[in-house]
Structure formats: structure tokens, C-alpha cells
Amino acid sequence: MPRFDPPDVLLLGPGPSPVPRRILDALARPTIGHLDPRFVGMMDELKELLRFAFQTGNALTLPVSAPGSAGMETAFVNLIEPGDTVVVCRNGVFGARMRENVVRAGATAVMVEDAFGTAIDLDKVEAALRANPGAKALAFVHAETSTGVQSDAAALCRLAREHGALAIVDAVTSLGGIPVLADAWGADAIYSGSQKCLSAPPGLSPVTFSARAVEVITSRKTPVQSWFLDLGLVMGYWQGSGARAYHHTAPINMLYALHEALLGLQEEGLEAAFARHRDNHLRLRDGLAAIGLDLLVAEAARLPQLNAVKVPDGVDEAGVRRRLLNDFSIEIGAGLGELAGKIWRIGLMGAGSTPGNVDRVVGALAECLGRKAA
Amino acid sequence: MPRFDPPDVLLLGPGPSPVPRRILDALARPTIGHLDPRFVGMMDELKELLRFAFQTGNALTLPVSAPGSAGMETAFVNLIEPGDTVVVCRNGVFGARMRENVVRAGATAVMVEDAFGTAIDLDKVEAALRANPGAKALAFVHAETSTGVQSDAAALCRLAREHGALAIVDAVTSLGGIPVLADAWGADAIYSGSQKCLSAPPGLSPVTFSARAVEVITSRKTPVQSWFLDLGLVMGYWQGSGARAYHHTAPINMLYALHEALLGLQEEGLEAAFARHRDNHLRLRDGLAAIGLDLLVAEAARLPQLNAVKVPDGVDEAGVRRRLLNDFSIEIGAGLGELAGKIWRIGLMGAGSTPGNVDRVVGALAECLGRKAA
């Protein structure tokens, strides 16, 4: 069997996003021990860098040793106990996944439903919180990767606080691309992924928990159902001064890569990164409009980093994606769930968000569709 | 904040083991999409390579997207349901971790206890299985990383089968270093880790499940408590012909590295790899004996890849490890649990198992202890 040499593909789908060479090089640095004092020093830096990315002073801020789905599960299994009620907003695929997590933690999920492609309706959320006094948490997706919609995280966190509920926020696709303000929002748990706007390879899930969330975790009545994701144990490795208690073997090289990716974000600056994502989104919008393609989401709710493009009538949705991949070496995403076949998803995430990439994908789409810019 | 440049350390602890440059280079190849047909082709090769490593034809053979502890949890949460009884052997730290997994799955763990540093007593296991008819599973650690002990996996799997119980085997430290014979043993679930005798970085957990185990999983009465580790969902991504259903974003680059590591194992051949581990273990044993150091474990139960060395009376256990790391750039491991302070753990795993490394660690230990070879 020969070695595997991946082709060079421009990743403009819903993630993973393009990983810059400097981050791939960091990934390939020599593996050292997970209890080596130098490695522990790097872990401390990583926590600081993540606090910067999340705009938080939260002590409990670290990367979970598995992809974003495990970050989601970390939030639910640590904060929720059997018998709890959680208000879950669903306006895309990932809201449905949150419900799965709630149910498997033995809790009741009260669903607030909005159409795929629209933002979460604050009035419906308020009504659900009123109708369920004592709800333990409100859970919602800040940036719905399945639809390209951004919801009002600040307002949703405020509603949660007003009703005494914890705010659990999915920021998998938002972190690094649009403002994620853990402290200013008063969010209690936020999880993200390494492979979207942070431009690291997939496999890690940065999370941050408020002091209030930590209190909820430490005063649980039942053990966390997952041993691997039990933050009470994970904290023994990631926190404390001096020696760290072994819990599991950290994914050493992946952590090198995330460290390097966050250094890059710090060098660029958050505001500059957000402006870049915004500018390239507008360039894409204009380029698509010029070849007669429309975005699914209303302007006010659009994510700059994930653009849901309506597939024109009569066009072979999968055929176009296949041609983009095979003839132009560009990956874009398909629709998920009820949007399958109806949209393409063009990601301009992290290092992938450049004017050159916008022009390349618009040009390739124009060729595939036989359209010329108006 | 400067970039993190890890020092060059010879990893002769309990894992991670030294990662060869060719595997680090594979890790750094360009990231492509987790649904790209070329990536899916690589996944199929990876399953074949893992079947070779596990010596099995099991269809359900794949790497879990997280470290070995998550592989352990995958086995328990998929096979065990609330109300089940599991006989768990504990002769080291990882047997205790198995118990935690059983309890958190809502099942009862019947413990079979053996002293740390000794192999699992087959008679006690048989008595426990007799005393608990209807036990759903027998769970044991093949290679106890905390003590350097090897137990008789073939005989333990046979006992499980004779009593109608599933055999769940921890092979985190054994896979690639000593024979792991999934089919010949009749094991129902085996999990391992990427960072021991396979010489890949930490972060993945290869697992294999028998047809009988798959039947148990598909006929569960309750949902798997973990969404992330639910094999019913994971299978939709890793199995089937043609298009794969998105479950979570696979850790692309880590999978490149595991693929390359397994190619290396295939090139060397399993028997040659086992012989190399055995030969270097004997060289270490002799080298240690020459400077008056003894192994903890009786000869018949010794793991070649993980050597528990008794700390001589009056020697500063942690001080020696610190000096090895700081002055000789060699990492060895401390004792865990009841063996903390009493042993050092010297790993000769995967690419780390070479005569040169044996001589280097023995020489450095001799200097630290002020001893000369007899």
C-alpha cells in the first residue's frame, strides 16, 4: 500500500478551512511528553490565548481533546443532570444535535423552532423560558454552520440570565470570524472547533465556562456520565500550579497547531480578522450577484464566514460541486438536512477568507454554470 | 508570545513514544475535506491497516477521533446498558478506570482484584463469572501500562465466551508491541491508542468490535449515552459504500499520521516488530541488572514495551527522573497509584525500542545513581 498524498484542495466548504503552512509545520514539531514541564508551560499559554479568542477571564478555558461535537457534549454532560429542563433553539442541524445531547443526559428538551435559514426569534425564546420556570439552561447556536445564519447571542444570553438559566452557546463556526464575547454576553458555556475560523486542523474543541457554570459543575448531585469529558477530572490536568494530575494523554501535536493558530490570530488582531471576514463576504456576495446567484439568508442575519447560496432551478447541485472539486480543486459544501440539494455552502473561514479565494470560487462557479458576470 | 519550540526529548516513558520523522511529515500534509472521495479512500485503507494490526476480519474496525480513554469509553457506552453486570479485572490503574466507565453507564461492576504488578488470576475470574451468571461482559487490561504486566488475553476471552459474556480488552499499550489477536482470541471489543507501540502522536484510539458485539449494539434497548461516541452514528461515516453520512469532522491530519504509522508496521511485519520489542527488553533487563536494578514484575508476566523498575532504597525517585530529563533529555515515567514513588516506568515502545535507546537510558541511569556496570 503506498503512502497517502492528499491532493492540494482549496477548502471553501463549511470546514475544515485551509490550514496555513506555518500551522502544519507546528503540527510536525517533535512530540514531547504530556507531563513535561515545558509542555505544561505551553498549555498555560494556550489557555491564555483561548481566553483572548473568547474575550474572557474565565479560569476554566481549555481545548477539549476531540472535535467540536465532543465540545458540545462536554457542555451538556457537565452542566445538565437527569430531570433538568433545557430550552433548546433549533434553526438548523446543530440545534437538533443539541437536543440529542440533552435527551441523552436524561433531561427534557423544550424546543424553540425557527425555519432553517432564519435567525432565532427572541420572542419565542422568551415565551419558552416564561413557560418553563426553573429551566436549567438555554442552549442555542450562535453561527449555524448548516444554514449560514447568525443569531443574537448577546440578547439570548441576557434572556437566559433574566430567567435564571445557564446560557450554553455553540460557537463552532463563529470563534475568530465574528465577535464571540463570553464575558460581555455573560455566557456560561461556549464551545468551538479548531478547524473553522481558527485555521487549525480538525480535532480539538476550545471551550470556556463561567464561574457560575463551574459552581454548577462542582455541586452536581450525580456523576458526569462521561469519564473522558468529566471536567472535574479534566481540570486536574489543565489547571492548578505545579504538577498536573494525569487524566488522559493530551493530543500533543494538535495542541502545538492550535497554539500556533492562536498566535496568528493574536498577531492579526481580532478586529482586523473580523473586518477581513466581513470584507471578503461582501466581495463574495457581489461576485455571486453578478452571475445571478442569491444568498439564502436575509442580510441582517448573514454569517460572513459561511455563505448559503441558493442552487438555481434546473442546476445539478452535486454535479457542480463535483466539477469544482475535480476540475478546479475547490471544495464547497452541500446543504444539510432539509436544505440538502437546495443550497451550496461557501465557507470563507480563517486563512481561507481572502479576496483571491473569493475571485477563484466565483470564477469557477461562473464556468460551471456557463454564466458571465453581468 | 513566541512560537512554541518543543525540546528534543527521547521519550522512554509510558507513552507518547518517539514519533519518527516520516510520521510527523505525514501529519503535516495539506488538510483536505473529511468527505472528499480521496479522503474516504484513505479511510478505507486505514480500516484495512487496522484489521492487520488487530489480526481481525471485523467489519467494525476504525480509529475513534480521540485518545485511548475515549476508546475505552466507546467500548463501554456502546455495549453496556443500565442494569447490566460487568466483571472487571483490576490489577492496575486502568482496571479502576474501567470500573468508572461501567458505573457511569448505569451498570454494576463486579471487581476481581489482583495486586498491582501481578497478572490477572484466571481462577478468580472464573469464580466471579460463575458467581454472576448473566454477566454481560468481562473487561480486562491486556497490557497494564501502570505496572508493566501482561495478562493472558486468550484465556480470559475463552472464559468470557464459556460464560456467555462479551470480552472487552484494553490493548492500549499492547497493540504493535506484543501479539493482539482479536479473532483468534474471540475478543468482542478491543481498544488501543495511537501513541504507544504504533509510534503515532497521541489523539486517536483504534478500536475493533466482533460481529457479536455489533449485534449487541444494534439491539440495544436504550440510546447510547454519548452522542459523540455512539457507534451506530459513527458507523454511518466510517462504513458503507459510496457517500458517507456526516457525523463529526474527522481529525484529518491525525489520520494521515496513523495511516503512515501503520504502513511502517506493515513494512516491518508484526512478527519482526514483536521480536524487536522482546530483544530490546532483554537488553534493558540485562543492562539494568548490571547496575543493580531489578524489575518489579515476575518474568513470565513482563511486558517488553513497558518495564517497571524498582527504585532502590534511599534514592530520590523524582530527582532521578528530573535529572534524566534535564541533563540527558530522556523522559521516563513515574509510578501511578499505589506504585507512585516505588517504581520508574521505562517504555521501549514502537520506534523507541532500539538497542541504542536501551544503552542510552541505562548509561544515564548509571550516572544518575553513581553506579558502574558490574
Residue found under cell 553513581: B370
Asked whether the beta carbons of B102 and B223 are under 8 A apart, the reply is no
**What local confidence, expressed as pLDDT, does residue B245 receive?**
83
Q: How far is CA A374 from CA A284, A287, A309, A367, in A?
A: 14, 10, 18, 14
Can you say whether residue B81 is alpha, beta or left, with left for phi > 0 and alpha for psi between -120 and 50 degrees? beta
pLDDT tens column, B322-365: 999 999 999 999 999 899 999 999 999 999 999 999 999 999 99
Contacts of A28 in chain B (CB under 8 A): 24-25, 27-28
In sequence order, the β-bridge partners of residue A191 are: A170, A207
Domains and CATH numbers, chain A: 10-14+270-369 (3.90.1150.10), 21-266 (3.40.640.10)
Contact A203 B42 (CB under 8 A): no
Contacts of B5 in chain A (CB under 8 A): 29
Within 10 angstroms of residue A211's Cβ, the number of other Cβ atoms is: 12
Average pLDDT in chain B: 97
**What local confidence, expressed as pLDDT, does residue A240 receive?**
73
Can you say whether residue B297 is alpha, beta or left, with left for phi > 0 and alpha for psi between -120 and 50 degrees? beta
Contact B24 A254 (CB under 8 A): no
Asked whether the beta carbons of B109 and B79 are under 8 A apart, the reply is no
Contacts of A228 in chain B (CB under 8 A): 66, 69-70, 72-73
Contacts of A16 in chain B (CB under 8 A): 31-34, 249, 252
**What local confidence, expressed as pLDDT, does residue A128 receive?**
98
**What local confidence, expressed as pLDDT, does residue B241 receive?**
65
Contacts of A259 in chain B (CB under 8 A): 3-4
Give B288→chain A minimum CA distance, Å: 23
Contact B16 A33 (CB under 8 A): yes
Contact A16 B1 (CB under 8 A): no
Give B10→chain A minimum CA distance, Å: 8
Contact A6 B29 (CB under 8 A): yes
> Which of A87, A91, A89, A54 is closest to A301 using CA atoms?
A91
**What local confidence, expressed as pLDDT, does residue A241 receive?**
65
Contact B202 A49 (CB under 8 A): no
- For an interface test with B, give the residue of A39, A173, A253, A331 to mutate (most B CBs within 10 A): A253
Calculate what percentage of chain B has a pLDDT beyond 70. Answer: 99
Checking if the pLDDT of B117 tops 80, the result is yes
pLDDT class of B242 with cuts at 50, 70, 90: low
Calculate what percentage of chain A has a pLDDT beyond 70. Answer: 99
Contacts of A19 in chain B (CB under 8 A): 30-31, 253
Please state, in angstroms and rounded to a whole number, the distance separating the CA atoms of residues A109 and A125.
Answer: 13
Contact B66 A70 (CB under 8 A): yes
Closest residue in chain B to residue A101, using alpha carbons only: B227
**What local confidence, expressed as pLDDT, does residue A328 receive?**
98
Please state, in angstroms and rounded to a whole number, the distance separating the CA atoms of residues B49 and B68.
Answer: 18
pLDDT tens column, B137-195: 999 999 999 999 999 999 999 999 999 999 999 999 999 999 999 999 999 999 999 99
Please state, in angstroms and rounded to a whole number, the distance separating the CA atoms of residues A178 and B201.
Answer: 32
Please state, in angstroms and rounded to a whole number, the distance separating the CA atoms of residues A155 and A149.
Answer: 15
In sequence order, the β-bridge partners of residue A347 are: A306
Contact B28 A31 (CB under 8 A): no
Contact B228 A100 (CB under 8 A): no
Give B282→chain A minimum CA distance, Å: 25
- Tens of pLDDT along chain A (374 residues) come to 899 999 999 999 999 999 999 999 999 999 999 999 999 999 999 999 999 999 999 999 999 999 999 999 999 999 999 999 999 999 999 999 999 999 999 999 999 999 999 999 999 999 999 999 999 999 999 999 999 999 999 999 999 999 999 999 999 999 999 999 999 999 999 999 999 999 999 999 999 999 999 999 999 999 999 999 999 999 988 987 666 888 999 999 999 999 999 999 999 999 999 999 999 999 999 999 999 999 999 999 999 999 999 999 999 999 999 999 999 999 999 999 899 999 999 999 999 999 999 999 999 999 999 988 87
Contacts of B331 in chain A (CB under 8 A): 32-33, 36
pLDDT class of B374 with cuts at 50, 70, 90: confident
Checking if the pLDDT of B272 tops 80, the result is yes
Give A53→chain B minimum CA distance, Å: 14
| Mean pLDDT computed over B199-214 | 98
ipTM of the complex model: 0.97
Contacts of B49 in chain A (CB under 8 A): 1
Query: B242 or A285, which is more confident?
Result: A285
Quick one: A299 exposed, middle or buried, by C-beta within 10 A (0-12, 13-18, 19+)? exposed
- Count Cα atoms within 13 angstroms, Cβ side, for A164: 6
- For an interface test with B, give the residue of A43, A146, A228 to mutate (most B CBs within 10 A): A228
Give A32→chain B minimum CA distance, Å: 6
**What local confidence, expressed as pLDDT, does residue B246 receive?**
86
Contact A223 B263 (CB under 8 A): no
Asked whether the beta carbons of A94 and A144 are under 8 A apart, the reply is yes
Give B123→chain A minimum CA distance, Å: 30
The size of the A-B interface in CB pairs under 8 A is 243
Query: Which of A3, A67, A249 lies at the smallest CB-CB distance from B65?
Result: A67
Contacts of A34 in chain B (CB under 8 A): 16, 202
Contacts of A251 in chain B (CB under 8 A): 67, 201-203, 254
H or E segment to which residue B307 belongs? strand B306-310
| Mean pLDDT computed over B216-234 | 96
pLDDT tens column, B83-104: 999 999 999 999 999 999 999 9
| Mean pLDDT computed over B299-305 | 98
